[in-house]
Amino acid sequence: MPAPPDPASVTALERLAARTWRGLEEQPYGDWLLRAGGGFTGRANSVLVLGNPPAGLPAAVADVTRWYRERGLPARACVPGPAADADAALAAAGWGRDEDTVVLTGPAGPWPCPDVPVVLADAPDEVWLTGYRAGGALPASATAVLRRAEQPRFASVRPYPPPAPAVAVARGAVAEDVLVISAVTVDERHRRRGLATALMTTLAADARSRGARCCVLQVTASNAPALALYARLGFTEHHRYHYRTAPPPAADSRGPARR
């Protein structure tokens, strides 16, 4: 059994990653960070629980709940592994727990991949967005959240002419010397052809030109094919986090945000 990661390194990496996928509204709450982004993704619509809040934990849970409900959002917390006391307080208040998300670290490429044409852009167009949402609707805030980072890049594989959607997409953003890759989505009819690796290779080459030396990925623990792929590319587990969500008011039938 590997030793647990140093809490300081978890905090540093989580704060860095938070700079690459941000809420449209952010507010410090002691050491915690409140984030709201119109309900698009858990990362942009959850309080990042690191360090200490400005009040005792029961009062902090109540404050966070109120902050999100004032914005018409479910109260949600992103809880990395070292935040055990806060996690216990959230559980005691009845907040439900999602499955673990595994945070992986590895090289910023290059990786062997097929010769696949990849389009790289500074903003997500409709072809990219349609490939990402895989037929599902995105909220109005989605594009703004996706673009809210320092020089994000949007990679896609487009074998068919527009308006056909991309068959594979991914997003990359650099903070300091770390490339954070997210939103990796491959149409199920085009999987196991190396498209995800081709996207990552393109994003990594661009990031290395801007000083990136390593890469971070976040994958749900149940996504065995993705974890196997990233292991082959040299990624290893750094730590885990999970979300907790407050019990909704009786009249609130809102579903979970996409990660």
In this structure, are 136 and 70 located in the same domain?
A: no
User: Are residues 132 and 174 located together in one domain of the fold?
Assistant: yes
Q: How many CA atoms lie within 13 A of 225 on its CB side?
A: 9
Residues 130 and 208 occupy one common structural domain: yes
Which residue in the block uniquely carries the two structure tokens 């959240």? 145
Is residue 120 in a domain? yes
Radius of gyration of the chain (CA): 18
Residue 254 lies in a domain: no
34 domain-assigned? yes
- What is the C-alpha to C-alpha distance for residues 226 and 232, in angstroms, rounded to an integer? 10
β-pair partners for 174: 179
Specify if 133 maps to a domain: yes
Are 11 and 85 within one domain?
Answer: yes
CATH of the domain at 198: 3.40.630.30
Does 113 share its domain with 186?
A: yes
Decide if 233 is inside a domain. no
Burial class (CB in 10 A: 0-12, 13-18, 19+), 66: exposed
Q: Do 26 and 87 fall within a single domain?
A: yes
Instruction: Identify whether residues 66 and 11 lie together within a single domain.
Output: yes
What is the structure's pLDDT at 4? 64
* In a domain? residue 257: no
Q: What is the pLDDT of residues 127-171, one digit of tens each?
A: 999 999 875 789 999 999 999 999 999 999 999 998 899 999 999
Structural domain count of the chain: 2
Say what the pLDDT of residue 135 is: 59
Q: Are 39 and 64 contained in the same domain? A: yes
Query: Does residue 226 belong to any structural domain of this protein?
Result: no
Task: State the burial class of residue 150 (Cβ atoms within 10 Å of its Cβ: 0-12, 13-18, 19+).
Answer: exposed
Instruction: Encode pLDDT of 114-125 as tens digits.
Output: 999 999 999 999
Same domain, 89 and 154: no
Provide the residue range defining the domain that includes 88.
7-101+240-245
Residues 127, 198 within the same domain: yes
Question: What digits encode the pLDDT tens for the residues 13-52?
Answer: 999 999 999 999 999 999 999 999 999 999 999 999 999 9
- Give the global pTM: 0.91
Residues 159, 73, single domain; the answer is no
Say if residue 59 is in the same domain as residue 86.
yes
Residue 254 reports pLDDT greater than 70: no
The answer as to whether 91 is a domain residue is yes
